[in-house]
Every structure is written in C-alpha cells, then in structure tokens.
Amino acid sequence: MSYLIRVMIPDTPGSLGRLADALGSIAGNIESVDIVEVSSDGEVTDDIVVSLPQGTLPDSIITAAQALPGVIVDSIRPFSGVVDRRGQIEMLAAVASHHRNRDKAMADFVDVLPRTMTSGWAIVLDNGEAMSRIAGSSAAPEDDGTNPPHADVTSARVLREEETWVPESWRLLDASLCAAPIGATGMMLVVGRPGGPDFLATEVEQIGALCGIVGAILR
C-alpha cells in the first residue's frame, strides 16, 4: 500500500537522508519526493510517496518521521496515483496540438493535471451565468446535472467552505479545492484533493500560472 505524506523538514544538509533512513527502518520504500515549498525560516515542505509492506500500519510512518528533530508530518493519505510534475510539459504540448478543439484540449488538460499536482481529480467548467461542465478527469465527481451560478473566481485561489455554489460531491472525503480562471476564455479549472492536504500558496500560484498558459494557447 502506498501513502502520500506531506512533511516539513529542516532545510539543512542530510535532513532528507535521515528521513529516508527512518522510513527504511519500518520497511518503507520511498517512491517519489516532490519539493512543494521552501520557506524563509529554514523549513522545506515535501510531498513524499511511501509504500509499506502488507500489514504495516500507516501510523508507523508518522511515528518514524516525527521521531526526528524538527520533522512534522502535516498529513497522510492513501495514494494510488503517479506523481509526475514533468508531465506538465507534455500536457501543455497536447493542449497546444488541439487548440482549435476546445473540448479535446480540456480533456487532455484534466487527464494529466491531477498527477502533476498530487491531486485526486480536475474539472473544467464553462463559468458563464450558469456553469456547465466541459471536461473532467477519470476520478472526478460525476456531473449531477445542476448548473451553479457564475462563480467569482478571478484569480487562482482556494475554494472556501462557505461558498454555497460548490456542489457537495466536490467536498466528499474532506477534499481540499482550488480553482482558477483559464485565462480570458470564460472557463474555470477546479482541482480536488480528497483527504487533503490543503493547497499551499505556492501550489495555488502554480495552478494559476498553468491556467494562464493554457488560456493563452487557446486564444
């Protein structure tokens, strides 16, 4: 079984190696490491995918990691996907190749995006007076046929819990949600991360930048 952990470690030489040794002591195998954020106060936030032998409890990951000085496990959740930040280049190339076919371009966009952002799903909506779905990734919540009103999303941001237009199905499993306009196309991207962790400011900025590029391609 594989798990995605978000962990904060000291930004000092050897910190990641010591964490790898600690996870190895419980027979954990690190499948990928993704640096999410480097803070100004000497701390690095990493997303790490760790596989455990059958019968090993995920709590052992937290115990092993937090036994190290300065290490904090922010969240942990089961993870069956593939982390591939480099896939964003291929994704943008696919969008560009189908720029005259909006629906196909958006299908390519949401197909790749979740694994480049360690997220569960992605949806593209026509954010008109009444929203309608254009494309959704394979794990996205099903379209319930409702058409929420136009959402006030003028820049990339986290969707707050009090935003009543957000369908309940998007928030299942305590999902964290981030949305961004896709340039000036009138479309909006929503990315869901069931079970967390929350989207950090750097991730929101990255999603906004990707949407800006895709919007420019489609124009």
The per-residue pLDDT for 86 is: 67
Burial of residue 135 (number of CB atoms within 10 Å: 0-12, 13-18, 19+)? buried
Report CA Rg, the chain. 18
Residue 20, C-beta contacts closer than 8 angstroms, at least 6 positions apart: 30
Q: Residue 82 above 70 pLDDT?
A: no
Across the range 186-191, mean pLDDT stands at 97
Distance CA 35, CA 7 (A): 10
167 Cβ neighbours under 8 A, 6+ residues apart: 141, 144, 146, 148
- What pLDDT score was predicted for residue 199? 94
Question: What pLDDT is recorded for position 30?
Answer: 94
Beta bridge partners of 10: 43
Full set of structural domains in the chain with CATH: 2-78 (3.30.70.260), 87-218 (3.30.450.40)
Sorted by sequence, the CB contacts under 8 Å of residue 197 that are 6+ apart come out as: 6, 74, 75, 77, 176
From the list 143, 209, 145, the residue with the least C-alpha distance to 181 is 209
CA distance 84 to 113: 9
Quickly list DSSP for 124-161. Answer: EEE-SSB-EEEEE-TTSPPP-S--PBPP---S-EEPPT
Tens of pLDDT along 62-80?
999 999 999 999 999 888 7
Over residues 6-46, the pLDDT tens digits come to 999 999 999 999 999 999 999 999 988 988 899 888 999 99
Instruction: Characterize the bridge pairing of strands 2-10 and 132-136.
Output: unpaired
